[in-house]
Structure 1
Amino acid sequence: MTGRILPAGEVRDSEPWASGSKTAAATLLLAPNPSAWTLDGTNTWLLSSPGSGQTIVVDPGPADLAHLELIVAHALAVDSPVTAIVLTHGHADHSAGARQLAGMTGADVRAVDPEHRLGSEGLVGGEVLTAGSLEVRVVATPGHTSDSVCLLVESEGSLLTGDTVLGRGTSVVAWPDGELGPYRESLRQLRELAGENGVYRILPGHGPLLPNPGQVLDGYLEHRRSRLDEVRRVVSRGITD
């Protein structure tokens, strides 16, 4: 991770996924933890509006000092210091650096799971977080984990999805904390949200920006349906190997 910031603008599929301003309100700082599970690395999102004087950091990522220092430096460079740290869920690749970043900035850590909070406030579906005039709505989306949330920036139609929807491939729903039933319901909720509220792009927790939310969510729902049908066929045949 070089810390190089690209000019503002929508990313193109042919461009490498890298740190930079992706929308008017959202800047990406890509964490230096690429792997088969994390794709290019964890997407740390900085949300602010010009002149707001405040930045919401979404998923600070691993406890990597250089990455955390870059978060602080970028926020200060645009005169919008970090005032809140929000976790889309508690997996370490998203949350491990949160307490250290809180110590560097004085910001509270907001999360559904009390174990990951720092400060008195959690996260509740439907509540609105603010950074100056920027409003960010919390959408409860359990399934990938029981504490998963998405974040909707309605003013520009951006939906931050954590690991509920990825920029490439599909998300894992794994025992013991992942549950397929709630996950499918969360996908249906996001699909309705995309259809009703002018959602123009998905800003995922890993991988590149997705410009067609409805199409992406339809694909996710179809993938889960087809996998369930496959399991049912195997069970009906009594195949155990």
Structure 2
Amino acid sequence: MTSSRQNRPSQLLQPQRQPVATRDASTILLLRDCADGYEVLMTRRAAQGNFANAYVFPGGGLEAQDADPANHALARVRQGMVDAGGELRITQALAGIRETFEELGVLLAYDKTGRPVSPAQVQTLDRKASLYEQCRALGWTLAVDQLWYLAHWTAARDLPKRFNVPFFVARMPEGQTAVADETEQFEPTWIGPQAALQRFAEKSLFIVFPTERTLQRMAVFADTQAVLDALQSENLLWHSCPRTGYLQGQDTRHMETDMAYGELEFVHPDGQAGHHLDWQFEQAVPLRKNLLRLTAPNPGMMTGPGTNSYLVGDASSGYIAIDPGPNEPAHLQRLHDAAGGDIRYIVCTHSHPDHSPGAAPLQAMVELSGHARPPIMGLPSAPTARSNSRFKPEVTLRDGERITLQGQGEAGEITHTLQAIFTPGHAANHLCFLLEEDALLFSGDHILNGSTTVVSPPDGNMIDYLDSLDKLDAICGEHGVNHILPAHGYVLGSARQQIAKLKAHRLAREAKVHAAMRAKPDGSIQDWVALAYADTPQALWPVAERSLLAHVERIQTLCLGR
């Protein structure tokens, strides 16, 4: 598989456009302790201009003077800051200090004796004159060493004006008072992160998305020192360029850590807005020109928003239906109709009742509409399968076997090739599928979005599950797979990172299980669940018992094999 065939631009739903170039800026979060924790300084933006009337942290655009080596010479820096970010980090920090002084009259600086400047000394400066020239004349240095790199925000790609902004934090200089310039900034306000979020929820404080998410992340810290302690490694806590979707009738922003981010990236790589994220059962959701998703109306604790059925192909090639889902006539009819009845193959990732029972009824629908009978393909259920999970395909797929559709595209012949990948673990007959031309992985229940799959012995096996994760990781590396299409939830991005995160989570849980077994060697499964899943709602413990048992079996097997 050559990289030129992966992620075919011809299959994207919309022509791609170049996002507006970003402008560099810098922001400082000034913090001070208070009786119930700490507060951050916010100000209201002017009624005109960028972020009109929004409460923000002080800052502004980088200027040529901020990068001037002569002005860099005025900065007192930490070596770690320079090592981590180079001269650009100094430029950004200086810009934040300068903007904070110009907008609020607050200055992070040292006088010529090396002491922090006093409020009286700051009062002698002209906020409209060059800060750098005034400091140079007075022998002052700018306290870049008091700034810590918290986060980095790059504005969403669909916005008409975009900024690229490091967020620094620093203690508020002792004794100084913020006085707004009444031009760009108004109403300096000290407020705790949680209180600000509460006022935002009550619609009495308007903030933009990066401010909201920053406050959410800040709310977990007890005081100013806790914030600074978290930044001592000189590594920022997050770097985000949000994407925009359409949810519950309005535009919504999503960070990389949000469940919908990978899908937004997948559908519109260039960041265009407009993709609908509401879960619904009536309409097919176009993900690519050759890929539709229809979600079965079976939402629940184990199925999330419902089982995703996928149609791969197009009108010229016909379609492959992946996981027709439960025997839900209305869902199967929609699946049939979305393909115009031209379903050439029906494949099932595994035999569970939310995945395979719809296969035979869908096959009958296709025949009844005058099309050729599509074979039902997959792996037969093992003897260990539950009574409601029996499945016998008409065609047994071997590991690595391919199913290919051929059609006509704008540039000539086009193919859609699914490769079967044997991935036991969640179920003994589990398959994933690789859409080779587009480097997409259909993960069935092996990898989900928003939860971890249950591994329930005897049909489920944790050794097999983890080995299959390694196999999928290798395939993603070989084929350049970046997106995973799960049977439950939105599309996942950063495929290999998702797999690594999932494996790490499983092994961390297994370590807790092993610790519980050592703490209570004569304990029951219920005793061990209470310890190993103490961070999980008790309502989920009965389900967790199944995966815990799979971990116990793996631990015992590994220990016996030593």
TM-score after normalising by structure 2 = 0.39
After superposition, the Cα gap between the structure-2 partners of 1:89 and 1:226, relative to the gap in structure 1 and judged at 3 Å, is same
How far apart are 1:176 and its partner, in Å?
2.4
Q: Which runs of 5+ in 2 are unaligned?
A: 1-11, 15-261, 266-275, 367-372, 382-389, 407-414, 528-562
Give, as a single letter, the amino acid of the residue that structure 2 aligns with 1:129: I
SS state at 2:448 partner = coil
SS state at 1:94 partner = coil
Q: Does 2:302 correspond to 1:27?
A: no
Identity between Structure 1 and Structure 2 (%): 32
Q: Does 2:328 correspond to 1:61?
A: no
Q: Highest relative contact order (Cα 8 Å, sep 6+), 1 or 2?
A: 1
SS state at 2:293 partner = strand
CA deviation digits over 1:174-230, x for unaligned, max 9?
122100000000001111111221102000000100011011101110011111111
CA deviation digits over 1:120-166, x for unaligned, max 9?
x2111100011222111001000000000000012111100000001
The answer as to whether partners of 2:423 and 2:432 remain within 8 angstroms in 1 is: yes
Q: Given the alignment, which residue of 478, 492, 506 partners 1:224?
A: 506
SS state at 2:473 partner = helix
Give, as a single letter, the amino acid of the residue that structure 1 aligns with 2:424: P
Distance 1:110 1:32 in 2: 23
Q: Given the alignment, which residue of 71, 75, 97 partners 2:339?
A: 75
Give, as a single letter, the amino acid of the residue that structure 1 aligns with 2:392: R
Give, as a single letter, the amino acid of the residue that structure 1 aligns with 2:502: Y
Distance 1:8 1:34 in 2: 28
In structure 2, the residue matched to 1:48 is 313
The answer as to whether partners of 1:128 and 1:136 remain within 8 angstroms in 2 is: yes
5 Å matches for 1:112-191? 112-113=379-380, 116-119=391-394, 121-132=395-406, 133-191=415-473
Give, as a single letter, the amino acid of the residue that structure 2 aligns with 1:195: G
In structure 2, the residue matched to 1:208 is 490
The answer as to whether partners of 1:49 and 1:131 remain within 8 angstroms in 2 is: no
CA deviation digits over 1:60-87, x for unaligned, max 9?
01111111111111111xxx70011000
Q: Does 2:373 correspond to 1:111?
A: no
Q: Given the alignment, which residue of 267, 273, 278 partners 1:16?
A: 278
In structure 2, the residue matched to 1:4 is none
Distance 2:520 2:335 in 1: 53
The answer as to whether partners of 2:263 and 2:492 remain within 8 angstroms in 1 is: no
CA deviation digits over 1:2-31, x for unaligned, max 9?
xxxxx9478328933454111233210111
Give, as a single letter, the amino acid of the residue that structure 2 aligns with 1:16: D
The answer as to whether partners of 1:49 and 1:134 remain within 8 angstroms in 2 is: no
In structure 1, the residue matched to 2:515 is 233
Distance 2:285 2:520 in 1: 52
Q: Does 2:359 correspond to 1:98?
A: yes
Q: Bigger CA drift: 110-119 or 169-178?
A: 110-119
In structure 2, the residue matched to 1:193 is 475
Q: Bigger CA drift: 29-38 or 12-21?
A: 12-21
SS state at 1:95 partner = coil
TM-score after normalising by structure 1 = 0.89
After superposition, the Cα gap between the structure-2 partners of 1:74 and 1:145, relative to the gap in structure 1 and judged at 3 Å, is same
Q: Which runs of 5+ in 1 are unaligned?
A: 1-6
Give, as a single letter, the amino acid of the residue that structure 1 aligns with 2:355: H
SS state at 2:437 partner = coil
Distance 1:83 1:202 in 2: 23
Give, as a single letter, the amino acid of the residue that structure 1 aligns with 2:286: S
SS state at 2:304 partner = coil
Distance 1:222 1:89 in 2: 25
